Amino acid sequence: MALFSYFCPMNTQFFVDYLKHRLTAKSRHGTHSPFVYKLADEVIYDFAATQDYQTIEKQRKKLLNDDRFITVTDLGAGSHLNKNNRKQVKTIARNALKKPSLAQLLYRLSRYSQPKTLIELGTCLGITTSYFSKACPGAEITTIEGCPQTAAVAQENLNALGCGNVQLLTGNFDHIFPELVKTTPRLDFVYIDGNHRKDATIAYFETCLPKVYEGTMLVFDDIYWSAGMKEAWEQIKSHPDVTVTVDLFWIGLVFFKKGQAKEHFRLKV
Ligand SMILES: C[S@@+](CC[C@H](N)C(=O)[O-])C[C@H]1O[C@@H](n2cnc3c(N)ncnc32)[C@H](O)[C@@H]1O
């Protein structure tokens, strides 16, 4: 979601939450956990650009100039607001995609995690998917998108960027994700960026639980997007299997490391 829509006057609570986060979150130096310090130092605060960033951002520019209209089928939390479902690709690119700095953070997180399998809920036009594909060329990547016409544009982008390790499934997360998890031996990296409803978010988290292990990283997007999402995030943090969480405001990271005292970190990004 674009920064503007987060900070529009309708969303004062979000702005207050953002300020609170900025005031209370730490940098890498405020964290005493060696695991989280390393993650912050080597991944979160690694701002060096790569060739992959440039290649994908060139593709984003094309989307930002794409005048085509498509029919959007919205299965997510905004579905009740969607009166006019004909949209230009460039409008979707402007409003629905992760901004470059966050997409690049996801790139580094997934690269660090070295997943064999990576699942993304919420492909949209395929920008974060492309980042995952380039960060983890050896991984089997599955991304799910509910809107067929959006998925078709995403597939064009994935083809243009040569993301051959991505399987794009079109349909509702609620049906596809549980089936996918059943056939995946264990979950290495899962990114949840769609259908930001409390119950749905908790359901996706619970779907993951039978297949999580020491090496799993779950990433939840938009954890401050609404009161419901904040409640979902608190509920996820308090689950007994969760040991470490890292709240980066825009996204929340969840780990299941054994032998680690349960602890929740907030870091500035
Ligand atoms: C915020 S966008 C994803 C943005 C993308 N990850 C990026 O930054 O490049 C969320 C997407 O999830 C899809 N979505 C929302 N709820 C869904 C559901 N229940 N099943 C399938 N797709 C859904 C929407 O159609 C939308 O394209």
State whether the beta carbon of 21 lies less than 6 angstroms from ligand 1.
no
Q: How deeply is 252 buried, as exposed, middle or buried, from its count of CB atoms within 10 A (0-12, 13-18, 19+)?
A: buried
Q: What pLDDT, on a 0 to 100 scale, did the predictor assign at position 145?
A: 98
* 267 pLDDT above the threshold of 60: yes
The distance of Cα 230 from the centroid of its chain, to the nearest Å, equals 16
* 171 pLDDT above the threshold of 90: yes
Q: Provide the residue ranges of all domains of the chain, joining segments of one domain with +.
A: 3-266
Distance from Cα 149 to the centre of ligand 1, integer Å:
12
pTM score, whole prediction: 0.94
Q: How far apart are CA 94 and CA 81, in angstroms?
A: 18
Distance from Cα 11 to the centre of ligand 1, integer Å:
21
Highest mean pLDDT among 11-15, 27-31, 101-105: 101-105
State whether the beta carbon of 193 lies less than 6 angstroms from ligand 1.
yes
The DSSP bridge partners found for residue 6 are none
CB 137 within 8 A of CB 159: no
**pLDDT, tens digit, 9 for 90 and up, residues 200-228:** 999 999 999 999 999 999 999 999 999 99
* 83 pLDDT above the threshold of 70: no
SS3 state at 246: strand
- Give the largest CA-CA distance in the chain: 53
**pLDDT, tens digit, 9 for 90 and up, residues 57-68:** 999 999 999 999
Distance from Cα 93 to the centre of ligand 1, integer Å:
12
**Which amino acid would we find at residue 223?**
I
State whether the beta carbon of 105 lies less than 6 angstroms from ligand 1.
no
SS3 state at 239: coil
Report domain 3-266's class: alpha beta
For residue 177, what pLDDT band results from cuts at 50, 70 and 90? very high
Q: What pLDDT, on a 0 to 100 scale, did the predictor assign at position 76?
A: 76
Q: What pLDDT, on a 0 to 100 scale, did the predictor assign at position 259?
A: 82
The two beta strands, 251-255 and 263-266, are unpaired
- Extract the tokens encoding 95: 């409003």
CB 221 within 8 A of CB 251: yes
For residue 185, what pLDDT band results from cuts at 50, 70 and 90? very high
Distance from Cα 145 to the centre of ligand 1, integer Å:
6
Mean pLDDT of 34-61: 95
Q: What pLDDT, on a 0 to 100 scale, did the predictor assign at position 1?
A: 46
Atom of ligand 1 nearest to the CA of 126: 9
* 3 pLDDT above the threshold of 70: no
- Extract the tokens encoding 131: 């980042």
Residue with CA at minimum distance from ligand 1 atom 7: 97
State whether the beta carbon of 147 lies less than 6 angstroms from ligand 1.
yes
Distance from Cα 31 to the centre of ligand 1, integer Å:
33
Mean pLDDT of 29-50: 90
State whether the beta carbon of 157 lies less than 6 angstroms from ligand 1.
no
